[in-house]
Every structure is written in structure tokens, then in C-alpha cells.
Amino acid sequence: MNVLDVMRTGPVIPVIVIEELAQAVPLAKALVAGGVRVLEVTLRTAPALEAIRLIAREVPDAIVGVGTLTRPQDFKDALDAGAKFGVSPGLTPAMIQAAHETGLPLLPGVMTPSDVIAARLAGFSELKLFPAQQAGGIGMLKALGGPFPDVTFCPTGGVSVENAPDFLALPNVACVGGSWLAPKAALVAGDWDRITALAKEASALKAR
Ligand code: 3PG
């Protein structure tokens, strides 16, 4: 699967923070049951890599990826754990090298036109606009569409079920990312029905 395939499977990529390893598989199953198959497990907590490993093994319908990639050494570990793709909040030369060396399909984060130029020069034309709302939201994406008509975005940061349709209506947006699908309170409570309901609502959204 390449990054565009991942994006088109969306149209919502849940940004997941796993505090307890035991949450990983039930959460993944709950999201998949609601029609959300692409899962971004962020490297923000100790169990993240093991969570990816478990989901990859035990939830075959999930397409699990790694999020919050910031260190080049994490690329190989994520790939070994079973990650099918990676998402990063930004992009550095060392990360470009790690992506090329490992072959992990990467959706890198950008926030400015110069970031877009640098990412595209490195071979990336599917990009995460991060943090999307703070970067200018809908207006920013429309403006970027002028000089960069060949770039497809996944806006993430400040996207909600309410404003997602406006983002998804843009011609240069293929999917959105957001943490609203896996709220901490529901994970702590083990309220998997709530997660499935949120996933159903999200998977009913349509990209253009
Ligand atoms: C993140 O990296 O936490 C994502 O941007 C999620 O942002 P959100 O909580 O605004 O959806």
C-alpha cells in the first residue's frame, strides 16, 4: 500500500494514543467494527510499538501505521512491529533518509510553502498539513492549491466531525486526521461501543 492508498481508505485517520497496552486490540477492533480501518498509533507513550505489533497480529482488517515519527531510528522499529505506513508532524533530512532506506510509506507533516517545496523535492507529494487549523485551515489549503496543484493533503490538528466535511470537500484533500475518534475517557472506561459509534459517524463522511 502506498500513502495515497492509505489516505483513500480513510477518509478519517484516527490519531491514537495508547496509554495501556491492554487498550490496543479492543480499540482497534472497535474502530474497525465502525468501518475505520486505517489506524495511526502515535509514538507518544511507552506501549506504542508493542500496541502496533499486537494490532498488526490480532486485527487483520486494520491497516495500522505509526504516528508522531520524529526520530530516524523509529522508522525501522515501527516497520519491524508491523506498521504499514508512518505519519510525522514535520520532516528533516535524517527522516527523509530513514524513509527512503526503510521503505516505510511516509505521510510527512508540513506547515508552510517552503515545507511543501522541500518535501516535494524529497519525493513526497502526499502531505499532512499540521497543525491544520492553526496553519490557516480551509483558507490555507485553498491557497496552497494554487502553487502546488499536484500535492494532496491530510489536514490534521483541530479537525472535528463537525468541520471535517468542509476539509473533505476541497479538491486537494483526500482524508483528515483527528484524535476525536479515540477519546481518552472512552479508552479508560473501556467504552468500545462509543468508539464504534464515533467510527461509524466518521466512516460515513465522504472525500470528494
Ligand atoms: C495530534 O497530533 O495530536 C493530532 O494533530 C490530533 O489533533 P486533534 O487532537 O486536534 O485532532
> If you measure from the C-alpha of residue 16 to the centroid of ligand 1, how many angstroms do you get, rounded to a whole number?
9
Of 29, 84, 126, 128, the active-site residue reads: 128
pLDDT at 20 over 80: yes
**In the prediction, which pLDDT does 206 show?**
86
> If you measure from the C-alpha of residue 129 to the centroid of ligand 1, how many angstroms do you get, rounded to a whole number?
11
Specify the CATH architecture of the domain 3-106+157-203. Answer: Alpha-Beta Barrel (3.20)
DSSP letter at 169 equals T
> If you measure from the C-alpha of residue 28 to the centroid of ligand 1, how many angstroms do you get, rounded to a whole number?
18
Confirm if 134 and 158 have CB atoms less than 8 A apart.
yes
Whether 40 is catalytic: yes
Q: Ligand 1 — pocket residues by CB below 6 A? A: 15, 130-131, 156-159, 178-180
**In the prediction, which pLDDT does 125 show?**
98
**Hey, which residues does 106 pair with through a beta bridge?**
86
Q: Please state the atom number of ligand 1 nearest to the C-alpha of residue 180.
A: 11
**In the prediction, which pLDDT does 207 show?**
75
Task: Kindly report the pTM of this predicted structure.
Answer: 0.97
Cα distance between residue 109 and residue 127, in whole Å: 6
**In the prediction, which pLDDT does 10 show?**
84
The share of the chain scoring above pLDDT 70, in percent, equals: 100
**In the prediction, which pLDDT does 208 show?**
72
With the most atoms of ligand 1 within 8 angstroms of its CB, the residue from 134, 154, 179, 187 to mutate is 179
> What three-state secondary structure class fits 72?
coil
Cα distance between residue 16 and residue 22, in whole Å: 14
